[in-house]
Amino acid sequence: MSIEARSITKSFGTFTALRAVNLEVKEGELVALLGPSGSGKTTLLRIVAGLEFADAGNVLFDGEDATERSARDRRVGFVFQHYALFRHMNVFENVAFGLRVRPRRERPSTREIRERVHELLRLVQLDGMSERLPSQLSGGQRQRVALARALAVRPRVLLLDEPFGALDSRVRKDLRRWLRQLHDELHITSVFVTHDQEEALELADRVVVMNQGRIEQVGTPEQVYHEPATRFVYEFLGDVNIFHERAEDSRHGGIYVRPHAVEITRRPIGDGAVSARVQRVHVAGPTVKVELVTEFGDLVQAEISQEQQRRLALTREDAVYVRPNESRVFSEDYSI
């Protein structure tokens, strides 16, 4: 099912969480809402779910206005950051909940419920754990139960609020890959909220970058990473250097360049090379990180390969030339 949010505005007291936000999610897509905390991404997700109501604007499911529909009638599967499992029910009962609360004439029989729950528990690889209480599970297992519970009612949309936020990084990576596979199998329209750019870029078909209650850019992971529309997107999606090629550049915002796109040479080559002094070299790790200061006083972080470092043999206080490859300039009207 497709989702559309039209000029959604929402404030909490004096704080404006969303300012006339428009968003479209196509049928079967996996979309990430990415942004720092307070950017409005969770609020937008909760408004789509019907857990929160917008001050203005509409939510449409398959082109049909669902703004006034309660969360109960939206048939939306919601997965919470802290799982929100029913603590007094075992895994089986948690997953069965959505089926058991249906009105009697729509409720599946006990046997159908049992089959459906076990099918879902197999899907999330927890079939042997149906008797356990949530407190007896690890974080990753709890989140999988939460997912099975949300899927039990055959939702038309799956919404996930920081689904991996409370997990440690290893479990998070495993679960992330597994969620992508699951989505590829089920093709259920899904939106997840995250503040982790790596997660958004790796998992989503499209990424929605949000900041201060507005959408900064919507695009594929490649688009938002390589062609950021705004300064904010550029800075939020990775480490960034701000670079001045001439002294008079300081009037402008400067050139934006990622550390891996900074070229370091012993001699000045080509246009735009600026002389710089090496401040620090970190060789440990897959790449070598070099900190430099340019002749115009900009602090620059560069990443070069171990092989380049063997060739250049950079050490502290070396005088070198740096040149940005793949840089971007943002016009002044984007400045904050």
Partner 1 sequence: MTSASAGRDWTLADVPPPPRTASAVADPPWVRGLLIGVALLFLGLFLLLPLVTVFGQAFSKGIGVYLDAITDPMALAAMRLTLLVAAISVPVNAVFGVAAAWAIAKFEFRGKSLLITAIDLPFAVSPVVSGLIFVLLFGAQGLLGPWLTLHGVKIIFAIPGIVIATTFITFPFVAHELIPLMQEQGTEEEEAAVSLGASGFQIFRRVTLPNISLGLLYGIVLLNARAMGEFGAVSVVSGHIRGQTNTMPLHVEILYNEYQGAAAFAVASLLALLAVVTLVVKRVLEWRMGRASRAL
Q: Which of 78, 92, 232, 234 binds partner 1 (CB under 8 A)?
A: 78
Dihedral sign, Cα of residue 230, residue 233, residue 235, residue 241: negative
* Piece of the chain touching partner 1 by CB under 8 A; list 3-11, 18-26, 96-104, 322-330: 96-104
Decide if residue 88 touches partner 1 (CB under 8 A). yes
HEC profile of 185-247: HHCCEEEEEECCHHHHHHHCCEEEEEECCEEEEEECHHHHHHCCCCHHHHHHCCCCEEECCCH
Q: Which of 133, 166, 240, 242 binds partner 1 (CB under 8 A)?
A: 133
Task: In angstroms, give the least distance from the CB of 333 to partner 1.
Answer: 39
Nearest of 41, 307, 9 to residue 200 by alpha carbon = 41
Task: In angstroms, give the least distance from the CB of 109 to partner 1.
Answer: 18
Task: In angstroms, give the least distance from the CB of 192 to partner 1.
Answer: 15
Dihedral sign, Cα of residue 120, residue 126, residue 132, residue 134: negative
- Segment 230-259, which members bind partner 1 (CB under 8 A)? none
- Hey, what amino acid is at 89? M
Task: In angstroms, give the least distance from the CB of 82 to partner 1.
Answer: 7
Q: Which of 22, 55, 56, 87 binds partner 1 (CB under 8 A)?
A: 87
Decide if residue 156 touches partner 1 (CB under 8 A). no
CB 209 within 8 A of CB 217: yes
Residue closer to partner 1 (CB basis): 121 or 300:
121
Q: Which of 40, 98, 221, 259 binds partner 1 (CB under 8 A)?
A: 98
Task: In angstroms, give the least distance from the CB of 194 to partner 1.
Answer: 18
Query: Tokens 């703004």 identify what position?
Result: 67
* Piece of the chain touching partner 1 by CB under 8 A; list 30-38, 84-92, 235-243, 305-313: 84-92
Q: Which residues contact 200 (CB under 8 A, 6 or more apart)?
A: 32, 34, 194, 207, 221
Dihedral sign, Cα of residue 50, residue 181, residue 137, residue 151: positive
- Segment 21-60, which members bind partner 1 (CB under 8 A)? 49-51
Residue closer to partner 1 (CB basis): 102 or 187:
102
- Hey, what amino acid is at 310? R
CA angle (324 as vertex; 321, 326 as ends), nearest 5: 160
DSSP 140-176: HHHHHHHHHHHHHT--SEEEEESTTTTS-HHHHHHHH
* CA pair distance 96, 112, nearest whole angstrom: 10
Residue closer to partner 1 (CB basis): 89 or 171:
89
Decide if residue 102 touches partner 1 (CB under 8 A). yes
Task: In angstroms, give the least distance from the CB of 121 to partner 1.
Answer: 16
Interaction site with partner 1 (CB under 8 A): 49-51, 70-78, 80, 82, 84-88, 97-98, 101-102, 133, 135, 146, 149-150, 152-153
